[in-house]
């Protein structure tokens, strides 16, 4: 994978992580904010019940949270793929990429623990994981930009 393609892939992952963060915030807001819960009830639950398939605000919240969780897992898989591809193409930087692979592995382990947590703690931990993944992605983009400049100069 070329540096340009890796950078584009990481930018796409950054966008996916931002969407995950927004989805998680929306899911948490429905659960924690009574006025938002009632707003969703009147705008979604009642019309959907009239159509024969009631969708509760809690179902909407779960949908947003599950989608954020899935996007985070997909993003971590994408970061791992980019790291492995870049390390394969440029073996001399593979040792410096190892720390990033370790961080991805650590985040993936934390995601397995989140599944068994109480919802409030799980939401906080999931938000923390998304923030750390965004930081990881930003630092990788910086590293790859520096590598690209070195290759262009050399």
Residue 83: name the closest of 149, 141, 126, 130 by CA.
Answer: 141
Residue 48: name the closest of 28, 40, 27, 34 by CA.
Answer: 40
| pLDDT tens by residue, 98-144 | 899 999 999 999 988 887 888 888 999 999 999 999 999 999 999 98
Where do the domains of the chain lie? 3-153
Q: What is the structure's pLDDT at 3?
A: 84
Question: Mean pLDDT, to the nearest integer, of 25-37?
Answer: 90
In 1-154, where does DSSP find H-type helix?
3-32, 34-40, 46-50, 57-89, 94-114, 119-153
Q: What is the structure's pLDDT at 71?
A: 95
Residue pair 104/132 in contact by the 8 Å Cβ criterion: no
Most confident range (mean pLDDT) of 16-20, 59-63, 93-97 is 16-20
**What percentage of the chain reaches a pLDDT higher than 70?**
99
Q: What is the structure's pLDDT at 125?
A: 93
| pLDDT tens by residue, 39-59 | 888 888 888 888 888 888 889
Q: What is the structure's pLDDT at 127?
A: 94
| pLDDT tens by residue, 74-89 | 999 999 999 999 988 8
Tokens at residue 80, please?
Answer: 């791992």
Q: What is the mean pLDDT of the chain?
A: 90
The rounded distance, in Å, linking the Cα atoms of 40 and 46 is 9
Which whole-number Å values give the CA distances from 113 to 2, 25, 67, 124, 145, in the listed order? 35, 20, 17, 13, 34
């Amino acid at each position: 994978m070329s540096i340009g393609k890796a950078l584009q892939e990481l930018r796409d992952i950054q966008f996916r992580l931002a969407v995950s963060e927004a989805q998680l915030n929306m899911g948490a807001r429905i659960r924690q904010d009574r006025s938002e819960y009632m707003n969703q009830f009147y705008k979604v639950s009642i019309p959907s019940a009239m159509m024969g398939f009631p969708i509760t605000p809690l179902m909407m919240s779960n949908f947003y949270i599950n989608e954020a969780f899935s996007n985070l897992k997909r993003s971590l898989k994408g970061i791992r793929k980019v790291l492995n591809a870049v390390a394969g193409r440029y073996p001399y930087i593979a040792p410096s990429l190892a720390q990033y692979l370790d961080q991805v592995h650590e985040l993936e382990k934390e995601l397995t623990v989140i599944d068994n947590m109480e919802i409030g703690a799980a939401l906080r931990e999931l938000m923390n994981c998304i923030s750390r993944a965004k930081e990881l992605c930003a630092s990788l983009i910086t590293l790859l930009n520096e590598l690209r400049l070195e290759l262009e100069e050399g």
